[in-house]
Structure 1
Amino acid sequence: MSHLPLRIAAVSAVLALAACATQRVAKESAPMFTAQRVTEHRGSDDLLTGGLGLSGLRAMVPPAFADAEHPAPAELRRRALWSNWRGIADLAPGGGYGDLYGSTAAVPGREFSALATVPGASQPHRVLVQVPDAFDTKKRCVVVAASSGSRGIYGAIAVAGAWGLPKGCAVAYTDKGAGTDYFDLDAGQGINADGTVAAPATAGLAFAPDAPSAAPGVRGVAFKHAHSKDNPEADWGRHVKQAAQFALSSLDEAFPQAAPFTFDNTRVIAAGISNGGGAVLRAAEGDSDWLDGVVAGEPNVLVEGEGSRALYDYTTQAALLMPCALLHLQGLPQPPLAAQATPLWTQRCALLKDAGLVEGADTAAQSKSAYDQLKFAGWTDEALRAGALSVGFDLWRAVAVPYASAYGRYAFGEMPCGNRYSALGADFSPRAATAIERAAWWSDASGIPPGAGVNIIEEHPTEPLRTLRCLRELWQGDSADALRVRKGIAETRAGLPREGLPVVVIHGTDDGLIPMAFTSAPYVRWAKTAGRDVRYWQVRNAQHFDAFLGLPDYGSRYVPLLPYVYEALDRVDAHLDGKAGLPADAVIATTPRAGAPLQAANLAMPPR
């Protein structure tokens, strides 16, 4: 991989958020993009898989570093691709990827990357544009995507990259102010623009927290989503637009003979899943005349009324009650294994009873009480069953802890409920991270600890409910911290999509992490009532995590959601070409493959 001289600094320094018909950029007081890089990816290092191909992505161990303490940028990139593909897609044999749907074809081309900052933010978000050599300067298509969850810049590679790059479209990405740019307070080191570990004085550092003066003992780890003080979720739409703007300037650089690339002469489709799905719906709001179409899968989106619930609300409720409530249900997917889970969940019921949060004289009655509360709040049995995975992997707590900090715009060292992050020693006490751990954070982490050697440190670890009740109180209470957190949540509420903008929303009816009853269903009802052109696919037997369909029981019970996202992108693209209408609303009656290889009949794709 070689580095090319950049000639786009002068162009990108004047990019702005608004444009007129003949001039798509306006001057800003400061450059929008910094730390710009261009890299080439051909031969054994392509855009889509870094040369790994499907077989390399299926490998159970990540690509190795030649020097574990000092991996090269090319090694970090390849490993980040491996990690993000495996975190999003079902690549297991028999799951259909690469045979029935999706592509891991080698796509040669260039990557343009930078740090971007929305007005008013203190920390940047990453933007990256993949420009295939086969880009069609006559068709001029860009797919702009936001990472799912809190993943790094390659967190939508299996969503937008896998669809757009083989078609010759440029693909633009944003980490939407989250990502894997961790900062080690003990070593005083963060992550550089190229993914390597660097000191704060280094130009191009992707995140440097506002941290109080040194305190005795292990200080720990900060990361952008929790500690930027920017409440990045409130700016998701602006992150997506800036990524699209960077795509246009990158195309100007890549194809100067065909410049200028503008929103008037370039098709832009926004696509994302999970938090990325919510981000592209936010991009569809208001003055989104720069967008031509939107495809949002399993979106984390909040609206006013219509039964919509904030992610923080149902996450903190699930963190407290779901372990106990699941004992009331039969036939849960495995894992979690009943032999290990039942004693822990039984203990949770007893603790909830002691705290006055459930009723009942025995475990059966207590679990029924917890179950009834969740059902009354809108949880379906399908969502609860799939939610067992989030309970087993402690995802509810993992989400609630950093989101409370983000919504309240807390600095490092100020997180509510006494939480912080650090590496752990063999005795589970905080310790400083090692050089090897730091070196792999950018490529290996998911953006939300625990993971990649970073763990949640609770102030009262021997009191299991104390942190969870504190986190829940930030939603239900009236303390200064609770008001501060809820103010931040209110800032994330979505607006209506632009009139006439084609929008397709896809959601699994069994989603147990972002239940459709709280998110996409209220959004679609609200948008349709207002006369917006939103189409809705509800996919039976689809839950939130395609990547877990490689587990035999999950693969037998559930179908993947990605095929429907790709199909929706195909149909929106055909609609924009004038070749077809938008897809009709559909409740898709799928058939799980029950251990056999996935077939087209299992997916029951709506007819064109």
Structure 2
Amino acid sequence: MKRIMLGTVIGVSVFASSAWATNNPALNTLPGFIQGEIAQTAYDGITDDLLTAGLGASGLAGPAPVFNDVLAPTPAELRRLAIYNNYRALVDTVPGGGYGTFFGPGVGAAGEGLISGEEYLAYMTVPGSDVPVIVMAQVPDSFDPANACMVTAPSSGSRGIYGAIGTSGEWGLKKGCAVVYTDKGTGTGSHNLETDSAQRRNGTLTDADEPVQFRADLSDTARGDFSALWPDRFAFKHAHSKVNPEADWGQHVLQSIEFGFYVLNERFGRPLPNGETLITIKPENTVVIASSVSNGGGSSVRAAEQDHRGLIDGVAVSEPNVNPRVDTSFTIRQGDGPVITEHSRSLLDYTTALAVYQGCANLAPAIRDTAPLNAVFNSPVVDENICNSLANKGLVTGATLDERATDALRILNENFGIQPEQNLLAPVHFGLAVAQSISMTYANAYGRAGVEDRVCGLSMAATDASGAVTPLAPAAEAALFSASNGIPPTAGVNLVYDGALGQPTHLAASASPSSSQLDYGLDALLCLRSLAQGSDAVTGGALSGDAAALADAIAMGISEVRASGDLHGKPAVFVTGRADAILPINHTSRPYFGLNQRVEGQKSNLRYYEILNAHHLDVLNGFPGFADRYVPLHHYYFQALDLVWAKLTDRQPLPPSQVVRTVPRGAITTPLTEANLPAISADPAATDRIRFVDNQLRIPE
């Protein structure tokens, strides 16, 4: 591996201005936010590559690669497994679901889709924080300086630096564009508080005093005292960095673009006799598309809002996690359904509601036996206990279990604006602890709480078959960089309810002190709900003391991540599945589009495409019960990128906002065809058009 030594030390800011911020933008200079050295690696596209780590399209669809030494994997092995896992976490690779036909490394490319080029990896920081953020630029050998292009790829979810490799990474690399990635201050950065072991940038572990992705802000004495009380616990960067990284996601993306231009000009700029380099690749002659999915998509949207230097030309995102500024001057209505006035709830608001009520709602007769994998991932006994606990606290009504579960489902649909289309998907998400993990992580992050605060009595650790805390197996810890999604439960690290009846226990197996029942630690989930709504979730009364202070801090943190809706007229496309069960569309894409219409009016170039029979996690489509009902949103995300590219390079108009009426394939054994996936129409029927009229966002049924 070749390394470019920059003569700086991690954690000590260089403060060297980048070319774009100086009065002499002609010379290429290292951005001041880069910390330490840049690792540069060339990939030949034969034995290893940028997109698939040498696995190729068939390798990504096959068994996971293994380490030669499970206790000491090499950086190359960790990278390969990280790319494999991150690709498959977002893309359905099961035959018939579109992989290899509509998308995948080999589609529109030669052979297995291996892409040669160079990869540049570095740490960076943002003003006001010394928490390391990882940034990466990939430059394919097909990059043409005369037709320069760049695509952003901030990670989805809380994933690490390769978290968008299969989404905007694949599209950009196959287009011949430079792709710039960032873990946006989340990532797989884990800190074993018992051993002080943490991950280097390349994923290997160390307990030495050297640069790492993340270590909790604790002295050795404080860490020892904490471990004496709470042994074998972990801290994770997103939850425990004390900086609310989401507030800086837009800045992370903008800095990644700056880093990309620096790298491109180091390679393709004009060298001068004095050793300096003239900039030849700049925003004015480079097509830059801000992109990615989920949290990464939201990050690129925020970057476009904050772009006052003309770095970004267009936006193409899928299912973006945006928390739009609340604007009650407009409403949302789907078909002849109810008028939605309470849209734009925050992520923590609706997610804590799902964490509290969905376990009971799993048993509602309307979905109990039809929701895919409900019985596989959820215990009817635990769900019944949740219903009983909620009823005893006066949070659901009904004399029978069916009535209580139905009321829980009603609360989610009517009180919290959760689309009925997501009801069949929500049970498996609850079983996978999606809402529970998001609630815990984001409550900590928004409130800038440390691992030592154990918000709502929750911590992170490995657990045994009985749910008791146990040390994480060394082989599992060695693989965390490659296997973790950055937000426990993940890769063997679980959510632990320290206040569970009896002893600290895996949250899913916890009995609440208030009920003495195995009810998924409902007391802890209600605590998180109280912090989100700023009042006691059971009584409605005011919070006091530390809880009130933390709730106020969380409210402030949420206000810092609210999106403005102002894209400054940039061509932009959102694609979102109507059945999204993680980021409900009445609080994300729909109200953002409405807010944008209010803010930009006739100057808006945002288009919104709502895809029927599509949801948030395409990977589930490889399972029976999902394959027959849902189509890959990923396919329409690539269409969004194609449309924005055509707008920017050929001045082709963006199609009007519309509902796209897909056709499920009916069985996992029936391959998807073009008949299942109608294209976004350049001239949609009037009955399919999404309109903003008289301060109402009108969505066709």
**Residue 208 (str. 1) matches residue 221 (str. 2):** no
Q: 1:319: which partner in 2?
A: 355
Change (3 A) 1:313 1:438: same
Q: 2:4: which partner in 1?
A: 6
1:509-556 deviation line (CA, Å, top 9, x unaligned): 011110111111000001012222210000000011011111121111
Q: 1:79: which partner in 2?
A: 81
**Residue 293 (str. 1) matches residue 296 (str. 2):** no
Structure 1 counterpart SS, 2:472: coil
**Residue 415 (str. 1) matches residue 454 (str. 2):** yes
Q: 1:436: which partner in 2?
A: 475
Amino acid at match of 2:290: A
Check the 8 A contact 2:19/2:29 in 1, yes or no. no
Q: 1:470: which partner in 2?
A: 527
**Residue 491 of structure 1, CA deviation:** 0.9
Within 5 A, what are the aligned runs for 1:14-413? 14-16=16-18, 19=21, 23=25, 31-42=33-44, 43-60=46-63, 62-104=64-106, 105-202=113-210, 204-211=211-218, 212-215=222-225, 216-217=228-229, 218-257=231-270, 259-288=279-308, 289-306=310-327, 307-328=343-364, 329-330=366-367, 332-337=370-375, 341-376=379-414, 377-413=416-452
Q: Distance in 2 between matches of 1:410 and 1:154?
A: 27
Q: Distance in 1 between matches of 2:127 and 2:155?
A: 21
Q: Distance in 2 between matches of 1:155 and 1:290?
A: 23
Q: Distance in 1 between matches of 2:639 and 2:322?
A: 22
**Residue 268 of structure 1, CA deviation:** 1.1
Q: Which region of structure 1 is more displaced relative to structure 2, 173-182 or 329-338?
A: 329-338
Q: 2:696: which partner in 1?
A: none
Is there any run of 5+ residues in structure 2 with no aligned partner, and where? 107-112, 271-277, 328-342, 501-510, 513-520, 536-542, 683-701
Structure 2 counterpart SS, 1:511: coil
**Residue 21 of structure 1, CA deviation:** 8.7
**Residue 227 of structure 1, CA deviation:** 0.7
Amino acid at match of 1:551: F
1:265-300 deviation line (CA, Å, top 9, x unaligned): 222111111111111111011434210011121111
Check the 8 A contact 2:238/2:445 in 1, yes or no. yes
**Residue 561 (str. 1) matches residue 633 (str. 2):** yes
Change (3 A) 1:286 1:31: closer
Amino acid at match of 1:208: R
Q: 1:507: which partner in 2?
A: 576
Change (3 A) 1:415 1:262: farther
**Residue 455 of structure 1, CA deviation:** 1.1
Q: 1:494: which partner in 2?
A: 563
Structure 2 counterpart SS, 1:413: helix
Check the 8 A contact 2:319/2:589 in 1, yes or no. yes
1:484-512 deviation line (CA, Å, top 9, x unaligned): 11111111101233322111111000111
Q: Distance in 2 between matches of 1:193 and 1:32?
A: 14
**Residue 452 of structure 1, CA deviation:** 1.0
**Residue 126 of structure 1, CA deviation:** 0.7
Query: Identity rate of aligned residues, in percent?
Result: 38
1:423-449 deviation line (CA, Å, top 9, x unaligned): 224543223334322210111101111
Q: Which region of structure 1 is more displaced relative to structure 2, 377-386 or 516-525?
A: 377-386
Structure 2 counterpart SS, 1:602: coil
Q: Which region of structure 1 is more displaced relative to structure 2, 259-268 or 153-162?
A: 259-268
**Residue 593 (str. 1) matches residue 665 (str. 2):** yes
**Residue 607 (str. 1) matches residue 681 (str. 2):** yes
Check the 8 A contact 1:226/1:402 in 2, yes or no. yes
Check the 8 A contact 2:387/2:404 in 1, yes or no. yes
Among candidates 612, 623, 626, match of residue 551 of structure 1:
623
Structure 2 counterpart SS, 1:50: coil
Among candidates 565, 588, 592, match of residue 523 of structure 1:
592
**Residue 8 of structure 1, CA deviation:** 6.4
Check the 8 A contact 2:198/2:205 in 1, yes or no. yes
Q: Distance in 1 between matches of 2:145 and 2:31?
A: 32
**Residue 576 (str. 1) matches residue 648 (str. 2):** yes
**Residue 47 of structure 1, CA deviation:** 0.7
Change (3 A) 1:505 1:25: farther
Structure 2 counterpart SS, 1:606: coil
**Residue 141 of structure 1, CA deviation:** 0.4
Q: Distance in 1 between matches of 2:621 and 2:15?
A: 44
Structure 1 counterpart SS, 2:2: coil
**Residue 563 of structure 1, CA deviation:** 0.9
TM-score for both structures, normalised by structure 1:
0.95
**Residue 303 of structure 1, CA deviation:** 1.6
Change (3 A) 1:21 1:296: farther
1:362-397 deviation line (CA, Å, top 9, x unaligned): 112112221221122211211222212211212111
Change (3 A) 1:245 1:439: same
Structure 1 counterpart SS, 2:209: coil
Alignment coverage as a number of residue pairs: 604
**Residue 263 of structure 1, CA deviation:** 2.0
Check the 8 A contact 1:150/1:446 in 2, yes or no. yes
Q: Distance in 2 between matches of 1:387 and 1:253?
A: 48
Q: Which region of structure 1 is more displaced relative to structure 2, 287-296 or 161-170?
A: 287-296
Amino acid at match of 1:194: N
Amino acid at match of 2:47: S
Q: Which region of structure 1 is more displaced relative to structure 2, 11-20 or 425-434?
A: 11-20
Q: Distance in 1 between matches of 2:292 and 2:450?
A: 29
Change (3 A) 1:465 1:133: same
**Residue 533 (str. 1) matches residue 600 (str. 2):** no
Amino acid at match of 1:253: E
Q: Distance in 2 between matches of 1:272 and 1:52?
A: 22
Q: Which region of structure 1 is more displaced relative to structure 2, 83-92 or 208-217?
A: 208-217
Check the 8 A contact 1:416/1:481 in 2, yes or no. no
**Residue 29 of structure 1, CA deviation:** 11
Q: Distance in 1 between matches of 2:652 and 2:161?
A: 33
Is there any run of 5+ residues in structure 1 with no aligned partner, and where? none
Check the 8 A contact 1:7/1:253 in 2, yes or no. no
**Residue 18 of structure 1, CA deviation:** 5.6
Change (3 A) 1:604 1:436: same
Check the 8 A contact 1:15/1:26 in 2, yes or no. no
Q: Which region of structure 1 is more displaced relative to structure 2, 78-87 or 10-19?
A: 10-19
1:553-579 deviation line (CA, Å, top 9, x unaligned): 111110111111111111111111134
Structure 2 counterpart SS, 1:230: coil
